[in-house]
Amino acid sequence: MANRKVEKRQITGPYVGIIGLGYVGLPLAREFCRGGAKVLGFDINSKTVALINRRKSPIKHISNATMAEMIGSGQFRATDDMSQLSKPDALLICVPTPLTKNREPDLQYVESTSRMIARYLRKGQLVVLESTTYPGTTREVMLPILEQSGLKVEKDFFLAFSPEREDPGNRQFRTATIPKVVGGYGPESLQRALDVYRYAIETLVPVGTCEVAEAAKILENTYRCINIALVNELKMLFDRMGVDVWEVIRAAGTKPFGFSAFYPGPGLGGHCIPIDPFYLTWKARQYGLATQFIELAGQINTSMPHYVVARVTDALNERRKSLKGSRVLVLGLAYKPDIDDVRESPSLELIELLQEKGARVDYNDPYIPQTHKQREHDLRMKSKKLTARTLAGYDVVLIATNHSDYDYRWIVKNAQLVVDTRNATAGVRTGRSKIVKA
């Protein structure tokens, strides 16, 4: 499939450079190719570049067939040669924006990309930052670096911020159908950004400044972070009261206005929700303000893995077993269902906490055959094969990620005890006495 012949396609759109070929950059490149643009992808990781040029996808939700189509059509190729940055008409930056050890914004990737662009920037080029960051980054951090090229913004080159709203694993929306907010440094920059994005995105939402666009993205993610914290807190309370939080949310969700359902879990995961709100917290301190909602939500969400471990301990205790020495199988390492991304996944934290308490822990994840070193975790584990016998061999099976590939009825049937953090076993009728919600 990956090597099938693909017709060369006529290029009718702009020449776009996408910097950072990860979970955000690659789907964006795909949409530009579909829209008739020519795309040059840049990445500092030469292994990623080589893989892509061999028509293989580095991420699960872009297939090798899609990669073959993009490259085979003559519209897309990848490079780690940054001197080619002067070629495209527009450069869209999709590099990581993590936190430092002290939980402060780590803009090293945005800064190094900007320095690289400044070396090769030419007249007429448009530069757009897509990475999530605090309001002010484009103007205060990127612009001074780009102007070291000697070129002037809004006159010689153009600058905008347009946040990515990628949601890997979402079957309802894809990059092209998610409306895109665009903020320009000035009117000319905004217009040029809109002219480029219309080749890839169906609905564009122009806003007054880069700062509005930056703040809109942070608002979206902070809203999720806080609402998830709220239901996580309620989960702990309702559990003590003997009330099922999942049933409560289902009931409240029938209100046709004024309520959006959020769901509890074992903690927050992913590159965005646990991290982005703290970009704003850091910026707020410069204005002498504390973002109390964000801090509180952070505290609740980061305490969730501890709560889950306490529930596992209690469930074992009920069966006259101690966590120390018990065999635990964690199901799902990814931070959400049906994806292969483990960044900030609460499963990693769960495994470490369980190990610290003396449990013998394994994991299974159909999309993650082995663990790789993460910023804060290096588990060095391999996914265990799921069979009826292996399941039965564990004292407890802990559902951390509700991948839809799992057969939950079969899991409950064969496991001794199931602790379910995602309500994944809601539809299982038999063996309910073995299930503990957490």
Ligand X SMILES: NC(=O)c1ccc[n+]([C@@H]2O[C@H](COP(=O)([O-])OP(=O)(O)OC[C@H]3O[C@@H](n4cnc5c(N)ncnc54)[C@H](O)[C@@H]3O)[C@@H](O)[C@H]2O)c1
CB of 38 to ligand X, least distance (A): 19
Residues within the interface to ligand X (CB under 6 A): 19-25, 42-45, 48, 94-97, 109, 112-113, 131-132, 164-166, 168, 271-272
Q: Can 225 be counted among the known catalytic residues?
A: no
CB of 244 to ligand X, least distance (A): 30
Residue 364, CB-side half-sphere exposure with 13 Å CA sphere: 19
CB of 102 to ligand X, least distance (A): 18
Nearer of residues 36 and 96 to ligand X, judged by Cβ: 96
Catalytic residue among 33, 94, 210, 272: 272
Asked if 344 and 335 count as a contact pair (C-beta separation under 8 A), the reply is: yes
List the structure tokens of 8: 């060369």
CB of 271 to ligand X, least distance (A): 5
Nearer of residues 112 and 374 to ligand X, judged by Cβ: 112
Asked if 398 and 333 count as a contact pair (C-beta separation under 8 A), the reply is: no
Nearer of residues 96 and 431 to ligand X, judged by Cβ: 96
Nearer of residues 133 and 425 to ligand X, judged by Cβ: 133
State the residue number with the nearest CB to ligand X. 22
Nearer of residues 60 and 198 to ligand X, judged by Cβ: 60
Give the list of residues 6+ apart from residue 50 with CB closer than 8 angstroms, or none. none
CB of 315 to ligand X, least distance (A): 33
Q: Among all residues, which ones are annotated catalytic?
A: 272
